[in-house]
Amino acid sequence: MREHKLDAIIVPGGRALELRRRHCLWLTGHGNGTRCAATLVPLDGEPTMIYSMGGTTRAVRRQVAVAVTDVRHSRNGRYADIMVERLRELSSSAVASD
């Protein structure tokens, strides 16, 4: 990521392609890719998994706790909004630590 000057990457999940489901499963350990809409992986900081349906946030957190501790619900499909919120959090914590 540093080499390509990327602050974060988004690993898609979802039902659209089987490959996307596998990416999310590999990264988070979440057994059902349809529930993992995306995982935001920052250069510095913890990754954030955003899931879309099924189970409670607490249940999903238990399932992926080994790989991802920051699990957020999409709040009715607002994936981009959730990612922007997380990027702002990361940005403000980076400024505070400088």
pLDDT of the chain along its 98 residues, tens only?
999 999 999 887 755 555 555 666 666 666 554 455 788 999 999 999 888 765 566 777 777 777 788 988 888 888 899 999 999 999 988 767 76
Contact between 51 and 28 under an 8 Å Cβ cutoff? The reply is no
Where along the chain do its domains lie? 8-80
Size (the chain), residues:
98
d(CA 49, CA 60): 10
* Residue at token pair 């955003």: 50
> How high is the pLDDT of residue 34?
47
